[in-house]
């Protein structure tokens, strides 16, 4: 195969998703790795004095080419997984990992960056370039550049094994999800929304079966847990979801237990090799938080503030289940169902009633209108090769008509697609040789697809929580797309502290609760009417329904993650026999909602075991403090204020990683962050005490 025949090597424009095949992956990635190694060798061995233009720039150029091709492969593996594509991805993953490890351990290259930092040229570099150099020096240290040769080799082996294990963890979760099914007659789905029943019927029909097929993909799972009247069905679906990819799952081949223990052992070894006390200390080197102790104190303080509200929430839920639903002994598979019934009883509306006002297309239109109002950019439908017929493509256009960026939008759940919602970069903004490269994002969700209900085609309808999810991921996208930085390593999300990357995403969720915004993004699926003010008022009244319980659930995840990477040492004894025992201890400390003995939540906890949130899950709550406080400025000057929007764009979104996130926050807000707005937004203040 000639290089020109391989679409993954065509890097002058958008990825050619209509042409990429699994057979293209290995030769393309090997060619780009070879190109990268040759460039690194040329730069590292060069005799000329080290400067930005002969060290940082050429390294950034060649890594950008590899990153663009690998991003396309990684994305395809997540959204249209096939055995062939998975094999191609997993076959190239160790080679990519080895390359980055070798670069991070190259003492010659490390010396070049140190020389730039020590040179008179450094002061003449702009702020973004200086920050990139500083981050590179940190990353060389964390990459093992200062280790003795034997330890460098072991460090490389650890990194390669961790990459493979994380990929296998994700594969197991997807395979376990797809392998599980519950076939039932329509009578067993009583109480569920019509479109959920229609989709379950279609799933069964696609296999030539009568009745309905229930799955563990999120739209179906949530519909069952919230609405299915049949308690036995809820229990079976709950157990299936809670034991995904675990020792209690249906197929031992999908069990992540040994993978979890091995990942934790390797992370502990990585920390030891680098001279740190634990992996959390390594993780926090690139974050705002100063130490594991600071993070643990933060989440425990939040737990103590939320606990009284959570205890009240749960007591009310149990009493309602017993007195009104006649469930004498409420179990975990009853809680979401009882909560939905309690919401309906207390506030006279259901999630199902609300979602009929939120067709996905209308929500998108409202989101794009909001983006134009706040940030002065217009979003227009465009065309590009995609990986699935449901995928759409958009241009982001500036006020002067110039192209700012582009993004792919993949909204609906399907069998070959990993669960969850995320944003990833396809192309980062940069400028090289006088040529600008505009950013391109992947925006991915897993909403219910359009359905045929009663013989009538119905569009995809979103719950309000799903609307928040769409806004959240779009906020990440705006962080990438509206960057004003051309320097690789500081553009978009690059170089941004991990516990600050959720600020642009979380702040977007606030506009989902604003009346003027909702008017532009709602239209009843049958009548076309906008969301009624009376229903909106009930939604606002219910906004903080069970936020105490919700906060403690996030605190549980965050505390477990941090303790897992500070106190738990696999195979070395201690107070916790295994990670599951530690999770049980954390739940005893902070949780108010009981979990069944069979709950194996962590076996599908991809954020920590297959994503970038290891010893960093706390960042959701950490950044929520930032986002709530940032939004409070909009509350003060006008939630649709173009001036405030321009300020947020200029001081936060556009700055990328060119300066510390705290400096960007202070430049926008005028002071350091305060927790008051978060507590107020969640109804956890003295005026709302239980």
* Cβ–Cβ < 8 Å for 473, 423: yes
CA 271 to chain centroid, in Å, comes to 25
Q: What pLDDT score was predicted for residue 434? A: 76
As a whole number, mean pLDDT of residues 376-392 equals 98
- Same domain for 64 and 137? yes
- Same domain for 259 and 365? no
**Is the pLDDT confidence value at 1 over 90?**
no
- Same domain for 54 and 112? yes
Q: What pLDDT score was predicted for residue 156? A: 97
Domain boundary among 541, 559, 594: 541
Flag whether 301 is in a domain: yes
- Per-residue pLDDT tens over the stretch 311-350: 999 999 999 999 999 999 999 999 999 999 999 999 999 9
Pairing state of beta strands 212-214 and 456-458? unpaired
Whole-number Å distance between alpha carbons of 308 and 285: 34
- Same domain for 485 and 515? yes
Read off the pLDDT band of 690 (50, 70, 90).
low
Flag whether 238 is in a domain: yes
Q: What pLDDT score was predicted for residue 574? A: 57
Percent of the chain with pLDDT over 90: 95
Domain boundary among 92, 123, 146: 146
- Same domain for 413 and 512? yes
- DSSP reduced 3-state for 516: helix
Please report, for the domain that includes residue 408, its CATH number: 1.10.1370.40
Residue 462 structural domain:
360-541
Please report, for the domain that includes residue 55, its CATH number: 1.20.1050.40
Q: What pLDDT score was predicted for residue 688? A: 56
Whole-number Å distance between alpha carbons of 389 and 411: 11
Q: What pLDDT score was predicted for residue 203? A: 95
As a whole number, mean pLDDT of residues 411-429 equals 96
Flag whether 173 is in a domain: no
- Per-residue pLDDT tens over the stretch 134-182: 999 999 999 999 999 999 999 999 999 999 999 999 999 999 999 999 9
Number of domains in the chain: 4
- Per-residue pLDDT tens over the stretch 433-449: 778 899 999 999 999 99
Mean pLDDT of the chain: 95
Q: What pLDDT score was predicted for residue 472? A: 98
As a whole number, mean pLDDT of residues 482-486 equals 97
- Per-residue pLDDT tens over the stretch 580-613: 999 999 999 999 999 999 999 999 999 999 999 9
- Same domain for 220 and 187? yes
**Is the pLDDT confidence value at 96 over 80?**
yes
Q: Dihedral (C-alpha) 314, 319, 325, 328: value to the nearest 10 degrees? A: 100
- Same domain for 530 and 381? yes
Q: What pLDDT score was predicted for residue 685? A: 82
- Same domain for 411 and 537? yes
As a whole number, mean pLDDT of residues 474-497 equals 97
Flag whether 135 is in a domain: yes
**Is the pLDDT confidence value at 2 over 70?**
no
Flag whether 154 is in a domain: no
- Per-residue pLDDT tens over the stretch 266-289: 999 999 999 999 999 999 999 999
Which residues are marked as active site? 473
- Same domain for 344 and 414? no
Q: Which residues contact 420 (CB under 8 A, 6 or more apart)?
A: 218, 444, 446, 606
Query: Helix axis angle, 22-45 relative to 83-104, nearest 10°?
Result: 10
How many residues are there in the chain? 690
pTM of the model: 0.94
- Same domain for 377 and 263? no
- Same domain for 223 and 261? no
Please report, for the domain that includes residue 585, its CATH number: 1.10.1370.10
Q: What pLDDT score was predicted for residue 572? A: 64
Chain position carrying tokens 């999810």: 469
Q: Is 670 exposed, middle or buried (0-12, 13-18, 19+ CB in 10 A)?
A: exposed
Q: What pLDDT score was predicted for residue 444? A: 98
Flag whether 456 is in a domain: yes
Query: Helix axis angle, 231-242 relative to 218-227, nearest 10°?
Result: 140
Domain boundary among 522, 541, 560: 541
Pairing state of beta strands 403-412 and 456-458? unpaired
Whole-number Å distance between alpha carbons of 91 and 73: 12
As a whole number, mean pLDDT of residues 236-257 equals 96
Read off the pLDDT band of 689 (50, 70, 90).
low
Q: Which residues contact 311 (CB under 8 A, 6 or more apart)?
A: 548, 592, 690
- Same domain for 9 and 131? yes
Token couple for 403 = 């192209």
Q: Where are the strands (E) in 518-580, listed by range?
A: none
Flag whether 27 is in a domain: yes
As a whole number, mean pLDDT of residues 608-630 equals 96
As a whole number, mean pLDDT of residues 480-486 equals 97
Q: What pLDDT score was predicted for residue 283? A: 97
- Per-residue pLDDT tens over the stretch 529-551: 999 999 999 999 999 999 999 99
Flag whether 635 is in a domain: no
């Amino acid at each position: 195969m000639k290089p020109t025949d391989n679409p993954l090597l065509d890097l002058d424009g958008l990825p050619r998703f209509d042409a990429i095949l699994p057979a293209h992956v290995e030769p393309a990635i090997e060619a780009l790795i070879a190109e990268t190694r040759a460039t690194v060798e040329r730069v590292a061995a060069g005799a000329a004095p080290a400067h930005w233009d002969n060290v940082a720039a050429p390294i950034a150029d060649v890594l950008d080419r590899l990153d663009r091709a690998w991003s396309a492969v990684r994305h395809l593996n997540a959204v249209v997984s096939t055995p062939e594509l998975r094999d191609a991805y997993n076959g190239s993953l160790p080679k990519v990992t080895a390359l980055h490890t070798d670069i991070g351990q190259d003492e010659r290259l490390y010396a070049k960056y140190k020389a730039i930092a020590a040179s008179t040229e450094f002061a003449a570099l702009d702020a973004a370039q200086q920050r990139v150099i500083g981050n590179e020096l940190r990353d060389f240290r964390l990459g093992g550049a200062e280790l003795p040769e034997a330890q460098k080799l072991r460090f490389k082996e650890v990194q390669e094994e961790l990459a493979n294990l994380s990929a296998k963890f994700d594969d197991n979760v997807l395979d376990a999800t797809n392998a599980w099914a519950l076939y039932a007659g329509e009578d067993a789905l009583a109480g569920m929304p019509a479109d959920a029943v229609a989709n379950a019927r279609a799933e069964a029909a696609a296999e030539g079966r009568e009745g309905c097929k229930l799955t563990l993909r999120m739209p179906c799972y949530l519909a069952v847990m919230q609405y299915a009247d049949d308690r036995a069905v809820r229990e079976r679906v709950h157990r299936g979801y809670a034991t995904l990819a675990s020792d209690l799952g249906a197929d031992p081949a999908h069990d992540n237990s040994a993978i979890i223990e091995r990942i934790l052992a390797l992370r502990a070894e990585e920390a030891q090799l680098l001279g740190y006390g634990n992996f959390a200390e390594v993780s926090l080197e690139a974050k705002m938080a100063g130490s594991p102790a600071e993070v643990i104190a933060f989440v425990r303080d939040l737990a103590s503030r939320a606990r009284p509200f959570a205890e009240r929430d749960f007591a009310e839920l149990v009493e309602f289940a017993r007195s009104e639903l006649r469930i004498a002994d409420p179990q975990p598979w009853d809680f979401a169902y009882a909560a939905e019934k309690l919401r309906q009883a207390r506030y006279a509306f259901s999630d199902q009633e609300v979602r009929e006002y939120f067709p996905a297309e209308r929500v998108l239109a409202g989101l794009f209108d909001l983006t134009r109002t706040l940030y002065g950019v217009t979003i227009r439908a465009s065309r590009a090769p995609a990986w699935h017929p449901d995928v759409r493509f958009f241009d982001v256009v500036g006020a002067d008509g110039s192209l700012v960026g582009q993004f792919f939008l993949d909204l609906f759940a399907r069998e070959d697609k990993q669960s969850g919602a995320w944003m990833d970069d396809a192309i980062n903004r940069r400028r090289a040789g006088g040529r600008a490269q505009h950013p391109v994002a992947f925006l991915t969700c897993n909403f219910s697809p359009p359905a045929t209900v009663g013989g009538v085609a119905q569009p995809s309808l979103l719950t309000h929580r799903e609307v928040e999810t769409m806004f959240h991921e779009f906020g990440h996208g705006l962080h990438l797309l509206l960057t004003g930085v051309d320097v690789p390593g500081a553009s978009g999300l690059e170089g941004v502290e991990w516990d600050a990357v959720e600020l642009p995403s979380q702040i977007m969720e606030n506009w989902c609760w604003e009346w003027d915004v909702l008017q532009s993004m709602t239209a009843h699926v049958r009548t076309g009417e906008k969301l009624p003010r009376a229903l909106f008022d009930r939604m606002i009244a219910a906004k903080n329904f069970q936020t105490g319980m919700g906060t403690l659930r996030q605190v549980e995840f965050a505390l477990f993650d941090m303790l897992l990477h500070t106190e738990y040492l696999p195979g070395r004894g201690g107070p916790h026999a295994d990670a599951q025992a530690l999770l049980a201890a954390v739940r005893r400390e902070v949780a108010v909602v009981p979990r069944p003995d069979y709950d194996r939540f962590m076996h599908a906890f991809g954020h920590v075991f297959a994503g970038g949130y290891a010893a960093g899950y706390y960042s959701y709550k950490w950044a929520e403090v930032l986002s709530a406080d940032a939004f409070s400025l909009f509350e003060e000057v006008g939630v649709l204020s173009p001036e405030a929007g321009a300020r947020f764009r200029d001081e936060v979104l556009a700055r990328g990683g060119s300066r510390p996130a705290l400096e960007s926050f202070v430049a926008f807000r005028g002071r350091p962050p305060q927790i008051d707005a978060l507590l107020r937004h969640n109804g956890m203040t003295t005026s709302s005490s239980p």
